[in-house]
Chains A and B, each alone.
Chain A
């Protein structure tokens, strides 16, 4: 059974840092691209970042570029999101999601349960 379990969320002050982790099990982690997506009260779902299976390709949305860093450790079956210079607008539930790719499609079938990040003084 595919499982993705996020951890590392919590309360942090503006300007602070946090590192989220996503532990994967039930599949060959090194064979899949992974993504981070967040859910905010005001904006709904927002795609943040993706990383290819071998970390060769990494992408970010503009709102987190230069502040967030995605990485993975295939030996530990883990995905990470290092978040620096956090702002109140980063308050959200953060999800990791596995990429499924077809000949003319790409979608997120498996998601973690989410971890809440609250940025407040």
Chain B
């Protein structure tokens, strides 16, 4: 199975800050990497697919980059509604594995 790790596991930031979350795969997954945002009591929300494609309707302050084993999710200017947990997920092989999540506190 491909293991996904994320760093940091949590972070505290202020409104307006630039935030970067890193995701690493245990083996190359090309660009088969997705990012989701999840708020308490809500379903996950797709932010980025195929490593860097912004899902329709997602604010442009979110961006993704990377390929192979190393990926990043960036939020250019943190907003109060961005308080959430962020997960990366690989769709290269079965089982489809998620990272452990990064909790962002405002």
Interface residues of A (CB under 8 A from B): 35, 37, 39, 43-47, 50, 59-62, 95, 100, 102, 104-109, 111-114
Pair A104/B34 contact, Cβ less than 8 Å: no
Residues of A near B100 (CB, < 8 A) are 43-44
Give the distance in Å from the alpha carbon of A45 to the alpha carbon of B78 in the complex.
23
Q: Is the interface of A mostly helix, strand, loop or mixed?
A: strand
Query: How many B residues, CB 8 Å from partner?
Result: 26
* CB closest residue in chain B, given A48: B95
Contact with B50, one of A35, A45, A50, A105 (Cβ below 8 angstroms): A105
Q: Contacts A47-B96, A105-B91, A113-B43; is A39 near B38 (CB within 8 Å)?
A: yes
Interface residues of B (CB under 8 A from A): 1, 30-32, 34, 36, 38, 43-44, 46, 49-50, 53, 55, 85, 87, 89, 91, 94-101
How far does the Cβ of A35 sit from chain B's closest Cβ, in whole Å?
7
Residues of B near A62 (CB, < 8 A) are 1, 95
Pair B87/A45 contact, Cβ less than 8 Å: yes
